[in-house]
């Protein structure tokens, strides 16, 4: 069948979406059987593009177009993992579009003056383990090796999961790359928001990527009978947590550059007729302004401790993750803008509210992102969708970018 480039990408992504733990939406967590099946598919398509294939000890699958000894290298790609019951485009589309572009370049007999690596990172979402950006942080040399001891909900450590996947985590420190000879990292990603659709555009140039931090809070009170303990004698952990959740929302509404989300809440004993004895929740803060985000994090930690004291609760807070805001490189933004214009589309610039592998790759090299329109702005949701036409435009832009990039 003579697919268009966008149809070919859609065909690949349909197969990849089946590498999922769940029927409803895509659940593909790192170092799982689903990850392995996806990696096997990606390897086949990388081979068809004439790429040499390897996997590094952080579980990153690497497809390399080799232009010759000593030539500079352009890094591309994104993450293979998804959230739970997420969509079929977040991350994985950036890997597929890069491969389809290199397949087309090879079929047209074009030789590039620089090498290219398509990086399929294992774990960007941080859903299985309480950490994220393992692959790019290993390449940038910024990974805190302590995270390798963190465990998933089944008690499996990241170290054991890596080993089970055929990687040797003790070698991760050796993955740190020198920035010399790297032309940059360009990540293609579905927008995950409604802006391009609102503008009526298929593609966009990302100007900056939000910073992010995540806190885990545990309130401990006293589980008690819901019918016999008067209100003033209770140590209700959930009521305390609720006060902090509302304060986080109020703070983010008050501060324009701040977003706050409580996505996880675990209540114990979680039964209808018992006062909750303990509650664990996540608070995630995002902002393009690191100082604003960090100040908000400190304010919420203080508020939580004061709330616990007032309610005679214990409170344990840990900031489990942070990633500074990232500015995209002007030169690479212009290269992307030129490529979009060459496809006949209007050039449009926008920031990214989502974080990406590029956020961590910025500690190694200059970064930029090409956004692809996201239907109704829906993401981290089974309804996430990018059209054949828009993906075809993105591949056309990547081909122009690769064949015109100044070194």
Nearest distance from residue 322's CB to ligand HGY, in Å? Answer: 13
**Judging by DSSP bridges, how do beta strands 211-220 and 182-190 pair with one another?**
unpaired
Of 1-60, binders to Mn ion (CB under 5 A) are none
Instruction: Give the integer Cα–Cα distance in Å for 16 and 44.
Output: 12
Tell me the β-bridge partners of 187.
369
Measured from the Cβ of residue 343, the count of other Cβ atoms closer than 10 Å reads: 17
- Contact characters 91-130, Mn ion, x per CB under 5 A: x---------------------------------------
- Tabulate helix, strand, coil % of the chain (nearest 5): 40, 25, 40
**Binding site partner of 202, from ligand HGY, Mn ion, none, Cβ cut-off 5-8 A by kind:** none
Q: What H or E segment, with its residue span, contains residue 139?
A: helix 134-140
Contact 209, 285 (CB under 8 A): no
- Count residues binding ligand HGY (CB under 6 A): 4
Nearest distance from residue 286's CB to ligand HGY, in Å? Answer: 8
List the Cα angle 36/41/43 in 5-degree steps: 90
Instruction: Give the integer Cα–Cα distance in Å for 236 and 269.
Output: 12
Q: Between 92-107 and 33-48, two packed helices, what is the crossing angle to 10 degrees? A: 20
**Binding site partner of 236, from Mn ion, ligand HGY, none, Cβ cut-off 5-8 A by kind:** none
Nearest distance from residue 25's CB to Mn ion, in Å? Answer: 12
Instruction: Give the integer Cα–Cα distance in Å for 393 and 400.
Output: 11
Under rule CB under 6 A, residue 125 binds ligand HGY: yes
Q: Tell me the three state secondary structure of residue 315.
A: strand
Nearest distance from residue 284's CB to ligand HGY, in Å? Answer: 8
- Contact characters 312-351, ligand HGY, x per CB under 6 A: ----------------------------------------
Measured from the Cβ of residue 243, the count of other Cβ atoms closer than 10 Å reads: 18
For tokens 């919420």, the residue is 300
Of 358-397, binders to ligand HGY (CB under 6 A) are none
Among 355, 363, 375, 405, binds ligand HGY (CB under 6 A): 355
Among 49, 203, 354, 391, binds ligand HGY (CB under 6 A): 354
Instruction: Give the integer Cα–Cα distance in Å for 28 and 390.
Output: 24
Tell me the β-bridge partners of 315.
219
Nearest distance from residue 192's CB to Mn ion, in Å? Answer: 7
Under rule CB under 6 A, residue 191 binds ligand HGY: no
For ligand HGY, the closer CB: 124 or 396: 124
For ligand HGY, the closer CB: 125 or 396: 125
For Mn ion, the closer CB: 60 or 301: 60
* Torsion over CA: 98, 139, 81, 284 (sign): negative
For tokens 């609102």, the residue is 198
**Binding site partner of 391, from ligand HGY, Mn ion, none, Cβ cut-off 5-8 A by kind:** none
Among 123, 124, 152, 329, binds ligand HGY (CB under 6 A): 124
For Mn ion, the closer CB: 28 or 235: 28
Q: What H or E segment, with its residue span, contains residue 78?
A: strand 73-79
**Binding site partner of 355, from Mn ion, ligand HGY, none, Cβ cut-off 5-8 A by kind:** ligand HGY
Under rule CB under 5 A, residue 90 binds Mn ion: yes
Of 204-233, binders to Mn ion (CB under 5 A) are none
- Count residues binding Mn ion (CB under 5 A): 2
Contacts with Mn ion by CB under 5 A lie at 90-91
Q: Please give the residue ranges that form the binding site for ligand HGY (CB under 6 A).
A: 124-125, 354-355
């Amino acid at each position: 069948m003579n697919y268009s480039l966008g149809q070919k990408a859609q065909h690949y992504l349909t197969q990849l979406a089946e590498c999922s733990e769940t029927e409803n939406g895509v659940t593909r967590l790192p170092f799982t059987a689903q990850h392995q099946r996806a990696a096997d598919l990606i390897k086949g398509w990388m081979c068809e593009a004439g790429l040499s294939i390897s996997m590094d000890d952080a579980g990153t699958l690497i497809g390399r177009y080799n232009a010759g000894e000593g030539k500079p290298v352009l890094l591309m790609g994104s993450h293979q993992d998804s959230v739970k019951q997420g969509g079929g485009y977040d991350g994985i589309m950036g890997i597929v579009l890069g491969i389809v572009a290199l397949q087309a370049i090879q079929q047209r007999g074009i030789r590039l003056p620089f090498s290219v690596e398509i990086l399929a990172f294992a774990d960007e979402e941080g859903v299985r383990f309480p950490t994220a950006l393992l692959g790019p942080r290993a390449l940038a040399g910024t990974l805190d090796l302590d995270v390798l001891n963190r465990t998933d909900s089944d008690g499996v450590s990241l170290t054991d999961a890596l080993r089970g996947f055929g990687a040797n985590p003790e070698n991760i420190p050796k993955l740190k790359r020198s920035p010399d000879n790297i032309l940059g990292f360009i990540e293609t990603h579905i927008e995950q928001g409604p802006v391009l659709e609102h503008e009526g555009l298929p593609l966009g140039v990302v100007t900056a990527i939000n910073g992010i931090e995540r806190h885990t809070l545990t309130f401990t009170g006293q589980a008690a009978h819901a019918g016999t303990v008067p209100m003033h004698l209770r140590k209700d952990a959930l009521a305390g947590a609720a006060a902090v959740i509302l304060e986080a929302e109020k703070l983010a509404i008050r501060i324009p550059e701040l977003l706050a989300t409580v996505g996880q809440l675990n209540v114990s004993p979680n039964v209808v007729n018992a006062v909750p004895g303990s509650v664990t929740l996540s608070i995630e803060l995002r902002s393009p302004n690191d100082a604003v985000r960090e100040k908000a994090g400190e304010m919420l930690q203080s508020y939580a401790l004061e709330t616990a004291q007032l309610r005679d609760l214990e409170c344990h807070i840990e900031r489990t993750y942070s990633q500074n805001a990232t500015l995209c490189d002007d030169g690479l933004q212009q290269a992307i803008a030129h490529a979009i214009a060459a496809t006949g589309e209007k050039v449009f610039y926008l920031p990214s509210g989502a974080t990406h592998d590029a956020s961590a790759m910025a500690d190694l090299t200059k970064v930029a992102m090409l956004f692809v329109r996201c239907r109704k702005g829906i993401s981290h949701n089974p309804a996430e969708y990018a059209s054949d036409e828009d993906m075809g435009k993105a591949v056309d832009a990547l081909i122009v970018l690769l064949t015109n990039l100044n070194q």
